[in-house]
Amino acid sequence: MVTAPQLITGLPAQSLTPGYVEISQGEVADVGEGTPPRPADVVLPDGILVPGFVDLQVNGYYGQELMAGRPDGWAEVVRRLPETGTTAFLPTFITAPLDRLAAAFRATQAFVPDLPTGARVLGIHLEGPFIAPSRRGAHNEAWIVDPTSGAIDQLLTAAGSLLRLVTLAPERPGGPAAVTQLTAAGVLVSVGHSDATAAQVAKAADRGARMVTHLFDAQRPLHHREPGVVGQALGDPRLTSGLIADLHHVAGLACRIAFAAAPGRIAIVTDAAACAGMPPGRYLLGGEAIELPPAAGQPPIRADGTLAGSALRMDTGVANMVAAGVDLAAAIAAATRIPADLIGCPTQGRIAPGAAGDLVWLGPDLQARATWIGGQRVFGPE
């Protein structure tokens, strides 16, 4: 039993002051407001108890690039991500040659079942190579290809059930059919790195696309006569958008506008690269060099100055959104229940009976102080 001065469940408009939660056999057994039915094992003196964060876009962390497929690197990230409040995530592979991606998927399948206790791997997010060269951002243009049926079959076969999310540009030749093929295979399709018109994005949603990758970044912007990817993302109730909440990729005011325009349809992501949690210096993204500048809080860049992922923590992303004027409960939901529901994980991202016992204690500064996974404390003081 854990009690807290405030408990935000991740469910719509549910904040309990004070609140308690009981974990049994790794799951939430009871949650309520006021005095708990028995003495608590853990009494939090301040701050907020929230569900564990769910991050749908993590390229790397703690010096480890996940696409490299090293078991020890993955183990390091899984063990340490709870320090940021993240209890479940999608490791993300960016644009690379198809054979290299397939090899990375096969290698990953072999060791994921043996990873240590820590942040749960919910699948893999493939961001590219089926993207628009004009909106490639930090992706290598030489490796961008059309989403042919054969290419998709190759990756589906190599990844098996690990492939959970694919970001693509639906305007590419074969794009609409690719959305249908991936959706039929049970893979969530996200529109991203795309110069699609609003009408093309709507047609992708007609075929099953349900997400937009890092809203505002690397996509056709909102224009009053051509709403583009951004306009369709904000206006189409079928679409939920990832948002890099570091206040560098997207200004605070634009973040607040997005939350207001698409309530319940914004998911905070980090897009973290291997430099996250590390000192300034040179790291890798997609096997190519990036530089984390010495100025605190700045995102990594390619040699040409292009933003290349981030060094963001999920707890800091939540705090940034609150500082930008987003309601606290809405920011928590955007980091927990909304991304969990988007990828079909109804036991993640909420504090409710039957949900996973994944919890985070946030201090008054909204930084993670302790994290539990399946009711087991994996970070913070005993």
Please identify every residue annotated as catalytic.
Answer: 271
Q: How many angstroms separate the CA atoms of 229 and 219, rounded? A: 6
Sign of CA dihedral 205, 211, 217, 222: positive
Contact in structure between 348 and 355 (CB atoms under 8 Å): yes
Q: How many angstroms separate the CA atoms of 127 and 36, rounded? A: 45
Tokens of 136: 């490639």
Tokens of 133: 């060269």
User: What is the signed CA dihedral for 356, 321, 268, 380, rounded to 10 degrees?
Assistant: -40
Could you give the count of Cα atoms lying within 13 Å of 234 in the half-sphere of its Cβ? 19
Contact in structure between 313 and 247 (CB atoms under 8 Å): no
Tokens of 263: 């309530």
- Beta-carbon count within 10 A of 250 CB: 20
Q: How many angstroms separate the CA atoms of 52 and 349, rounded? A: 6
Axis-axis angle for helices 175-184, 149-159 (nearest 10)? 30
Contact in structure between 265 and 292 (CB atoms under 8 Å): no
Tokens of 142: 């030489």
Per the omega criterion (within 30 degrees of 0), is the bond before 221 cis?
A: no
Tokens of 98: 């198809």
Q: How many angstroms separate the CA atoms of 51 and 13, rounded? A: 14
Q: How many angstroms separate the CA atoms of 288 and 302, rounded? A: 9
Q: How many angstroms separate the CA atoms of 288 and 273, rounded? A: 11
